[in-house]
Structure 1
Amino acid sequence: MEAGKTIKIAALGDIHVKESDKGKWNQFFKDIAEHADIIVLCGDLTDTGQIQEAVLLGEELKGVHIPIVGVLGNHDYELDHHEEIRHELIKHNVHVLDGESIIIKGIGFAGVKGFGGGFDKHMLPMWGEKMNKKYVQESVEESLKLDKALARIDDDIKKVVILHYSPIKATVIGEPEQIFPFLGSSRLADTINRRSVEVTFHGHAHIGSLQGETSRGVKVFNVSKPLLEKSGYKQGYFLYEISV
């Protein structure tokens, strides 16, 4: 990799591909590929978690010749077909991360879906009924998976985190406060802070806020496609540049 090279990352999430979308996305992704070096997908790639929706997305991605890396979202888990969805997208050269990391064009990407649990002093504790503990445990396990993925990336490589759920409160502001515990968890931010991450992208909160940062200044972007379009990004993706 040439020193001082700038890599352009096009990030977006929540595309919610439907079975009726045949022909809708092919040119969209080809246009992205003309302006970016890597595409990052932040979950909710299918609308209802049906395998056929993933098959269609894979077909729509044909002809895109830049790397694509991403995670699944809660919609992709809806029917418990997430493993099949993941394998279908991998067949079409999409790097779908779930606790793994990968180096692309000199940048280290680590990704998990993430989970809820709430933010800061309002984060749910591991206490109370069994079902509450199980909910919190899922959040803890996603954070641990992210930590292990980041640990596999050498410290001299710039790290990018891909999530579906948010790691901070700032990028879900705009959504009803009552549902904040279901939109993300500060446990993810703790991991991001500890592992010297360059930037984090997530989706999920369609009417949240575009940008925030962790307590240690790591930039976080909510790249949910509906939010991007509402924020004036009519092209439907967010472009971020990293020097490597």
Structure 2
Amino acid sequence: MPPAKDVTRIAAVADIHCTTTSQGELQPLFAQASEQADVLLLCGDLTDYGLAEEAEVLVNELAVMDIPTLAVLGNHDYESGEPDDMRKILTDAGVKLLDGEACEVAGVGFAGVKGFAGGFGSHMLQAWGEVSIKQFVHEAVEEALKLESALAKLNTPQRVAVLHYAPIQETVEGEPCDILPFLGSSRLEEPLNRFSVALALHGHAHHGQVEGRTSRNIPVYNVAMPLLKKYFPDQPPFRLLDIPLTDS
């Protein structure tokens, strides 16, 4: 059923891990999303090894879409050192890639970054000690600043944050405790709270939780495809969410 006129319906999924042998596998998913939503959000790990050939397969799968598609890259999309090639292939096919950018679609503002790791709350890694640790923390800080800058550019009543790494611990719980610090960073939560986003979406944690909230009660959704298949086995593996076009 099409959404009411006072809302924008988004379809969101992450971690589709498209490979060179994925021809035809993702088209049904994208066709259903196109029928049910106003915009598709791809929250990172679009490919399995970050190969240009995988991105070519993905854009062929996306050819069935007739709604705008926004995306951020994930860690897998950097694996082979070809992120610039991937960006060109995707943008040439009409996908809007967000890496510190913002855009408005159907009355809603979207800001996106990949994000980075570093841990959560009082256990978040700090920039102290070896140069390599400081560089690691610097990457996390830079991603948070990019998200803050992108959100600040939006004048829409509602803002949505599109991430790959998690901004809160709640949606990654269920993964082995030892790897939680590598699944996201609380530094990404701060801009969400500051700009009172309508919601945030991420992937990366295939065995986490589907929903959580920031310290200021902003909803956060983990839309990793393996997780959605587990929690919603009778539904297409994307999350449908309605965004009211006013903030009241």
State the TM-score, normalizing by the size of structure 1. Answer: 0.96
Q: Percent identity?
A: 48
| Structure 1: distance between partners of 2:134 and 2:191 | 20
User: What residue in structure 2 maps to residue 222 of structure 1?
Assistant: 222
Q: How does 1:1-244 map to 2 (within 5 A)?
A: 5-154=6-155, 156-233=156-233, 234-244=235-245
The Cα shift of 1:219 comes to 0.4
The residue matched to 2:174 in structure 1 has which SS? coil
Between the aligned partners of 1:240 and 1:59, the Cα distance in structure 2 is: 25
Q: Hey, what's the Cα distance between the residues in 2 that align with 1:7 and 1:195?
A: 19
The one-letter code of the counterpart of 2:203 is G
Deviation of 1:5 after TM superposition, in Å, equals 1.6
Q: Where does the alignment leave 5 or more consecutive residues of structure 1 unmatched?
A: none
Give the C-alpha shift of residue 122 in structure 1.
0.4
Measure the CA separation in 2 of the matches of 1:68 and 1:5.
21
Q: CA RMSD in A?
A: 1.1
Return the alpha-carbon distance in structure 2 between the equivalents of residues 100 and 10 of structure 1.
20
Cα pair 1:4 1:243 within 8 Å, conserved = no
**Displacement of 1:182:** 0.5
Letter of the aligned partner of 1:127 in structure 2? W
Q: Distance in 2 between matches of 1:27 and 1:228?
A: 16
Partners of 2:211 and 2:27 in 1: how far apart?
28
1:230 and 1:107 map into 2 onto residues whose CA distance is: 29
Q: Match of 1:21, SS?
A: coil
Q: Deviations over 1:157-195 (max 9, x none)?
A: 200000000000000000011111100000000111111
Structure 1 counterpart of 2:178, one-letter code: Q
- Tell me which amino acid in the other structure corresponds to 1:176: P
Q: Greater CA deviation, 88-97 or 102-111?
A: 88-97
User: What amino acid is the match of 1:211?
Assistant: E
Measure the CA separation in 2 of the matches of 1:186 and 1:88.
32
Q: Deviations over 1:17-38 (max 9, x none)?
A: 0101111112221111111111
2:206 partner amino acid: H
Range moving further from structure 2, 93-102 or 4-13: 4-13
Tell me the TM-score normalised to structure 2 length: 0.95
Give the counterpart letter for 2:60 in structure 1: E
Paired with 1:84 and 1:232, the residues of 2 have a C-alpha distance of 34
Alpha-carbon deviations, 1:119-164, whole Å to 9, x = none? Answer: 000000110111111100000000000011001001x420000000
Aligned with 2:34: secondary structure?
A: helix
Measure the CA separation in 2 of the matches of 1:196 and 1:174. Answer: 27
Gaps of 5+ in 2: none
1:52-108 Cα deviation digits (max 9, x unpaired): 000110011113100111100000011111111111111111111000000000000
Regions of 4+ moved over 2 Å: none
SS of alignment partner, residue 103 of structure 1: strand
Number of equivalent positions? 241
Q: Partners of 2:157 and 2:111 in 1: how far apart?
A: 12
Give, in angstroms, the shift of residue 4 of structure 1. Answer: 5.6
Question: In the alignment, is the contact (CA less than 8 A) between 1:200 and 1:219 conserved in 2?
Answer: yes
